[in-house]
Amino acid sequence: MGRLDAITPELERWLAQQRVFFVATAPLAADGHVNCSPRGLDCFRVLGPHAVGWLDLTGSGAETIAHLRENGRVVLMFCAFAGPPRIVRLHGRGRAVLPGDAEWEPLRARFPAHGGARAVIAAQLDRISDSCGTGVPRMEFAAERQELPQWSAKKGDDGLARYRRDKNARSIDGLPAIDPAL
């Protein structure tokens, strides 16, 4: 347990088995809101020994993208809710790769075909660590929730674009997030 040099094949397999992870970011302003978002739906991938990415789906806010645009700082936390206890934290610098960017198609192809994808977040890691996780409860996985994919399908491309323009253009602290022109 402790600091790791890189994401090993064993760690990559363990990360892929986790059904949920948490993304934390913060603005530079001292009075800004720290954000922590849960992620699921098989949207995480290891991109290299010091690189990871996840598919960012349209949601009620765009804090992660806004904070990354401002300063790039990000940490992901994975907890073992089944099997031996373990917590893994991935610290680094992230950026949003958006539709229309040169990297969009090759990165997007690495993830499942989820409707409502608004970005792929790519992060270069500067710290990888694990700890025991003995205080994390055991929980059993029942199923992926289908509400977000169903909501995205019902909205359709035009409805999602309107939603992003109305709800995802700025963070709760007023930082720019999703460009309304996209």
DSSP 115-133: TTEEEEEEEEEEEEEEE--
The answer to whether residues 64 and 107 touch, using CB atoms and an 8 Å cutoff, is no
Does 172 fall in a domain?
A: no
The answer as to whether 182 is a domain residue is no
Q: What's the rounded Cα separation, in Å, for the pair 78 and 22?
A: 7
- Confirm whether 178 is domain-assigned: no
pLDDT at 179: 86
Is 90 a domain residue?
A: yes
For residue 22, which amino acid is it? F
Domain that holds residue 91: 2-167
Is 145 within a domain? yes
Could you say which residues of the chain have pLDDT below 70?
A: 181-182
User: Checking phi first, is residue 83 left (phi over 0); if not, alpha (psi -120 to 50) or beta?
Assistant: left
Let me know if residue 180 belongs to a domain.
Answer: no
Cβ atoms of 18 and 10 closer than 8 Å: no
How much is the pLDDT for 1? 75
Report the domain count for the chain.
1
At 26-70, the pLDDT tens digits run: 999 999 999 999 999 999 999 999 999 999 999 999 999 999 999
CATH label of the domain that carries residue 41: 2.30.110.10
Backbone angles phi, psi at 22, to 5 degrees: -120, 140
The reported pTM is 0.95
% of the chain exceeding 70 in pLDDT: 99
- CA 126, 132, 133, 139: dihedral to nearest 10 degrees? 110
CA separation for the pair 99, 90 (Å, rounded): 25
- State the DSSP code for 66: H
Q: What is the b/e burial string over 131-154, where b = at least 16 CB atoms within 10 angstroms of the residue's CB?
A: eebeeeeeeeeeeeeeebbebbee
